[in-house]
Structure formats: C-alpha cells, structure tokens
C-alpha cells in the first residue's frame, strides 16, 4: 500500500528542505569557527567608497574583512546598486541571524503542523474558535518566502 502525502505534508516537507538549505548556506559562510556576526558602518562605508570604490563587510569578532562590495564609477548607469546599501544588507543578514531565523521557522512549523488525528492546524482557530484545516495561513506565509524556488507550488500563494 502506497502512502500519499496531503497538501499540508507536502508543504511541510518543502519548508523543511528550504530551511535546511538556508542553514547549510549560513554554516558554509562561517569560514572561521564561531565567526557568525558581521557588521558594516555606514559612515566608514561611505568614506571607503569615496577613497577606494569599495565597501567592506567585517567580522564583529576580529574585524577581519568578510566581503568587499565594489561600487561602479559615477559614469555607470543609474540602476547600479549602491555599494553601501548592499554591504549593509549583507551585514544585517549575517549567518548568525540566518541561523536564528532557521530556529524560529522550525519552531513555527512544528506548532502549525497538522494534527495526526484531525488534520487541522494544532495552533490556529478561526474567529468562531473553530479549528482551521492544515495547512493554515501561517504555513502559506512562510512558504511564500520561497516562492522563487522551482519546487514552490503556485497554489500555495497566500
């Protein structure tokens, strides 16, 4: 007898796989043990951009360079990204933050998985305090983060 997965099970498997990928990418970026927090000073970045044409994202632990983002010269088209803004984005989404998000998403998914008995979300109720079928809106919203993944299903759009 073959077991068929329901929509909730498929979505949860998809989410767990994407979160595992997020975790692996964050861990792979940790080139030095416990060096997961990064920073970029907007003031220093603006100075560096003017002097060197590049902005550096640095380790919070030992201030070593993590990445250099080069901005194009002023004669480039206006749609070239601002190196300072890109560096700030990279620093804000450092591996430590990503790993916190991984932990949070796993906890949220565990709370909102379908009950094996009823098939309803174990956490959500509607305005009349009635159980909500799984997958609930919470799972749809988390899945939407991965809408650009080839395994994402369009029917999951919230």
pLDDT, position 142: 97
Last residue of a domain, one of 59, 77, 93: 93
pLDDT-derived band at 1, boundaries 50, 70, 90: very low
| C-alpha neighbours within 13 Å on the C-beta side of residue 66 | 26
**Are 46 and 88 in the same domain?**
yes
Looking at every residue in the chain, the average pLDDT score rounds to 83
Answer yes or no: do 117 and 140 share one domain.
Answer: yes
pLDDT of residue 2: 42
In a shared domain, residues 89 and 102: no
pTM metric for this prediction: 0.80
Query: Which sign, positive or negative, has the C-alpha torsion 24, 30, 36, 41?
Result: negative
18 pLDDT higher than 90: yes
Tell me, yes or no, whether 26 and 43 share the same domain: no
pLDDT band for 79, please (50, 70, 90 cuts): low
Q: How far apart are CA 93 and CA 87, in angstroms?
A: 10
Instruction: Rank 27-31, 43-47, 69-73, 124-128 by mean pLDDT and report only the highest.
Output: 124-128
23 and 66 together in one domain: no
Q: Are 16 and 8 in contact (CB under 8 A)?
A: no
The beta-strand segments (E) located in the chain are 38-39, 54-59, 65-70, 120-125, 131-133
Q: Which of 30, 18, 16, 24 is nearest to 94 (CA)?
A: 30
pLDDT of residue 55: 76
| 86 lies in the same domain as 101 | no
H or E stretch at 14? helix 7-28
Domain residue limits at 77: 38-93
Residue 4 is predicted with a pLDDT of 46
Q: Across residues 138-150, what is the average pLDDT?
A: 97
DSSP 96-142: HHHHHHHHHHHHHHHHHSBPTTT-EEEEEE-TTS-EEESSPHHHHHH
Under 8 Å between Cβ of 18 and 106:
no
How high is the pLDDT of residue 45? 54
Q: Is the pLDDT of residue 102 over 50?
A: yes
Q: Does residue 1 belong to any structural domain of this protein?
A: no
Domain count along the chain:
2
Residue 2 located in a structural domain: no
User: Do 86 and 127 share a domain, yes or no?
Assistant: no
């Amino acid at each position: 007898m073959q077991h068929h997965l329901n929509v909730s099970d498929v979505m949860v498997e998809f989410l767990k796989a994407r979160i595992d990928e997020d975790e692996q990418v964050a861990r792979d970026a940790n080139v030095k043990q416990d060096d997961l927090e990064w920073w970029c000073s907007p003031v220093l970045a603006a100075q560096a951009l003017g002097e060197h044409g590049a902005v550096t994202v640095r380790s919070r632990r030992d201030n070593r360079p993590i990445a250099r983002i080069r901005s194009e010269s002023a004669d480039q088209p206006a749609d070239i990204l601002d190196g300072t803004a890109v560096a700030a984005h990279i620093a804000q989404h450092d591996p430590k933050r990503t790993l916190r998000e991984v932990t949070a998403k796993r906890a949220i998914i565990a709370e909102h998985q379908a009950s094996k008995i009823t098939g309803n979300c174990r956490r959500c109720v509607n305005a009349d305090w009635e159980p909500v079928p799984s997958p609930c809106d919470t799972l749809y919203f988390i899945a939407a983060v991965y809408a650009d993944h080839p395994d994402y299903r369009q029917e999951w759009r919230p």
